[in-house]
A and B are shown apart, each in its own frame.
Chain A
Amino acid sequence: MTRKALRFILPVLILITAILSPLSSFAYKVPAAPKNGGVYDDAGVMDAADIEHILTLNDRLDDYCGGQIAVAVFTGLGGADIATYANDVFNEWGVGSKTKNNGVLLLMSIADADYWVVQGKGIEDDITSGELSLILDDELEPYFAKEEYSKGAVSFADAVYQRYASVYGFSSSIPQAEPQVQYIEGYGGGLPKFSFSGLLRFALYVFLLYLAVRMIASLLRSCCGDDDGCGCWSCCLPMLCCGGDGGYRGSGGGWRGPPPGGFGGTRGGFGGTRGSFGGGVGRTSGGSSFGGSHHGGFGGGSSRGGGAGRGRH
């Protein structure tokens, strides 16, 4: 090999190594725990309503026994072993109560068409991996095979919730999430889909806006008076000045005091019963934009590995 060839190959090799080394370390990095305290959706396959449902289950579990059902959906795992990765995610996030170590994590990898569930060490004798394996077969697999990941996750979470109920002795009826304003994906501003209370508020805002416009128009007309040359600033707005008859006739002059504002835009401001959706920002990856009154967070639980998954047996 000539010296010239070496001069060319060496820098190329160094460059390739430099490029690949951060990629390999990135592939095995555990992402930060979702702020909503229960659902991480890197692949964007979870429905907002289903996320809300799982978070509601977690609220109840937190109240009753400190348990937690975390769902993590990844686009892919970059070649990592799913069982090892799930264990790392569990311990990194600290799923479930720190003292009871009774969390359950369901990890789905879409690219690998695989899933794995791992439980905390405090509950591994009550909700065994064998039981979880059967729950996966019955509840998740039928949906997962049809690529209905969100429904599968909810079905799995419901079944595990009922298992928690039998272990800790509380009611196994599935709590339903309270009606929420739901976002239509694809709208950056997050338009409300449907909400009865939201609709009422919207109607009220429209009515108040109508009254305000009428009031402003009346005041401007009274300000302008019968003669057009009153010198009032509002006369620069002939559209308002030349309205119909009637309305308020004040003593002349403009507005005194603060303007009758207070109406925000048509977007945002729809405070749900359980907290708002964070300033009209659309759903981010990981579903972490849900503020709400969920307990949120992870308790610091840990797992000893193990668990059950798809296609291992």
Chain B
Amino acid sequence: MKSNTKTKSGTEPLRFVKVGDTSLAVIPESEKKNPPAAVGAVIMAAMIALSLIAGPARWLIPERSRVSKAFYDGSKVSDGVSINDDLVRLSDSAYNMAALAEQTLGDGGNVGEVKRLAYELNEDGTISAKFADYTELKYASSRLYSEISEQTGLSETQSRLIKQCYSDIQSRALTIENNEYNGLAEKYNGRLTRFPASIAGWLFGLKEAELFK
């Protein structure tokens, strides 16, 4: 065993002990006298860090589930209307519009796209998947309506029914925009992006809620 010393700036020099090929530092006597203080500081730092993470997580997770519940069940239970209900009705209107347009345009292009997205909007279960379908469906419906409006061979009834369906889609989109879910989601997102909730959100894998606006 071989020992030598190195100077630690401004304090007592450190002593190193060589054990085989490894050098080990020997804690000076002065520092050996206060081990509880160091440990205490570490524990305190750990507790602060834990509280910073666990504190926000305690309300972030329930708030996220409240937002999800508002999406599926509506924020006011007595109303019985939720964005999810509105999305079902919107997809029905979109599908009907595509079916009416199919009689003139065939089943390809925008007609096929709207039908596919309407189907997926109904089938997908998660909010994020529904949000993606909904956003695409709105654009696809708009494209289809523009296309069908330019057709000259439509009967009066076809034309009126297609307009009715498109008005329903537009109206439903406005209703969805006004839904209280969006307010709750905005509030949640605002909290999630603030420190220290942002760290907790990152650690627990919490993402921002989708805004249907």
Residues of A within 8 A of B (CB): 83, 87, 121, 124, 128-134, 137, 304-308, 312-313
> Which one of B109-117, B125-133, B175-183, B195-203 is at the interface?
B175-183
Assuming the contacts A312-B170, A313-B145, asked whether A134 and B160 have C-beta atoms less than 8 A apart, the reply is yes
In the bound assembly, the distance between CA atoms of A121 and B165 in angstroms comes to 18
In the bound assembly, the distance between CA atoms of A133 and B161 in angstroms comes to 11
- The answer to whether A83 and B167 have CB atoms under 8 Å apart is no
B174 within 8 A of A: yes
- Pairs across A and B, CB under 8 Å, 19 listed: A83-B174, A87-B178, A121-B79, A124-B175, A128-B168, A128-B171, A129-B168, A130-B163, A130-B165, A130-B167, A130-B168, A130-B171, A131-B164, A306-B172, A306-B174, A306-B178, A307-B171, A312-B170, A313-B163
In the bound assembly, the distance between CA atoms of A18 and B178 in angstroms comes to 32
B17 within 8 A of A: no
- Enumerate chain B residues within 8 angstroms of A137, measured Cβ to Cβ: 163
- Enumerate chain B residues within 8 angstroms of A121, measured Cβ to Cβ: 79, 81
In the bound assembly, the distance between CA atoms of A87 and B81 in angstroms comes to 17
B166 within 8 A of A: yes
In the bound assembly, the distance between CA atoms of A130 and B93 in angstroms comes to 10
- The answer to whether B145 and A304 have CB atoms under 8 Å apart is no
In the bound assembly, the distance between CA atoms of A305 and B179 in angstroms comes to 9
Q: List which B71-118 residues lie within 8 A (CB) of chain A.
A: 79, 81, 93
In the bound assembly, the distance between CA atoms of A137 and B163 in angstroms comes to 11
Cβ of B180 to closest chain A Cβ, rounded Å: 9
Assuming the contacts A304-B179, A306-B174, asked whether A313 and B79 have C-beta atoms less than 8 A apart, the reply is no
Residues of B within 8 A of A (CB): 79, 81, 93, 145, 160, 163-168, 170-172, 174-175, 177-179
- Enumerate chain A residues within 8 angstroms of B166, measured Cβ to Cβ: 130, 313
In the bound assembly, the distance between CA atoms of A213 and B168 in angstroms comes to 70
Cβ of B164 to closest chain A Cβ, rounded Å: 3
Cβ of B171 to closest chain A Cβ, rounded Å: 3
Cβ of A142 to closest chain B Cβ, rounded Å: 15
State the total of A-B contacts with C-beta under 8 angstroms.
55
- Enumerate chain A residues within 8 angstroms of B163, measured Cβ to Cβ: 130, 133-134, 137, 313
- The answer to whether B177 and A130 have CB atoms under 8 Å apart is no
Quick one: closest B residue to A117, CB to CB?
B171
Cβ of A313 to closest chain B Cβ, rounded Å: 6
Assuming the contacts A87-B178, A121-B81, A304-B179, asked whether A134 and B171 have C-beta atoms less than 8 A apart, the reply is no
Cβ of A159 to closest chain B Cβ, rounded Å: 14
In the bound assembly, the distance between CA atoms of A236 and B97 in angstroms comes to 90
Quick one: closest B residue to A137, CB to CB?
B163
Quick one: closest B residue to A308, CB to CB?
B167
Cβ of A135 to closest chain B Cβ, rounded Å: 10
In the bound assembly, the distance between CA atoms of A308 and B177 in angstroms comes to 15
In the bound assembly, the distance between CA atoms of A30 and B168 in angstroms comes to 26
Q: Which of A128, A130, A307, A313 has the most CB of B within 10 A?
A: A130
- The answer to whether A305 and B177 have CB atoms under 8 Å apart is yes
Quick one: closest B residue to A129, CB to CB?
B171
Assuming the contacts A304-B179, A305-B177, A313-B170, asked whether A133 and B81 have C-beta atoms less than 8 A apart, the reply is no
- The answer to whether A305 and B168 have CB atoms under 8 Å apart is no
Cβ of A288 to closest chain B Cβ, rounded Å: 29
Cβ of B24 to closest chain A Cβ, rounded Å: 69
Cβ of B150 to closest chain A Cβ, rounded Å: 14
- The answer to whether B177 and A313 have CB atoms under 8 Å apart is no
- Enumerate chain A residues within 8 angstroms of B177, measured Cβ to Cβ: 305
- Enumerate chain A residues within 8 angstroms of B160, measured Cβ to Cβ: 134
In the bound assembly, the distance between CA atoms of A313 and B145 in angstroms comes to 9
Quick one: closest B residue to A307, CB to CB?
B171
Quick one: closest A residue to B166, CB to CB?
A313
- The answer to whether B167 and A304 have CB atoms under 8 Å apart is no
In the bound assembly, the distance between CA atoms of A143 and B178 in angstroms comes to 31
- Enumerate chain A residues within 8 angstroms of B179, measured Cβ to Cβ: 304
Assuming the contacts A130-B93, A313-B163, asked whether A304 and B175 have C-beta atoms less than 8 A apart, the reply is yes
- The answer to whether A134 and B178 have CB atoms under 8 Å apart is no
Cβ of B84 to closest chain A Cβ, rounded Å: 14
- The answer to whether B145 and A306 have CB atoms under 8 Å apart is no
Quick one: closest A residue to B169, CB to CB?
A130
In the bound assembly, the distance between CA atoms of A312 and B163 in angstroms comes to 11
- Enumerate chain A residues within 8 angstroms of B145, measured Cβ to Cβ: 313
Cβ of A189 to closest chain B Cβ, rounded Å: 46
Assuming the contacts A121-B79, A130-B93, asked whether A307 and B164 have C-beta atoms less than 8 A apart, the reply is no
Quick one: closest B residue to A138, CB to CB?
B160
Quick one: closest A residue to B96, CB to CB?
A130
Cβ of A89 to closest chain B Cβ, rounded Å: 14
- With beta carbons under 8 angstroms apart, the residue of A130, A134, A306 that contacts B175 is A306
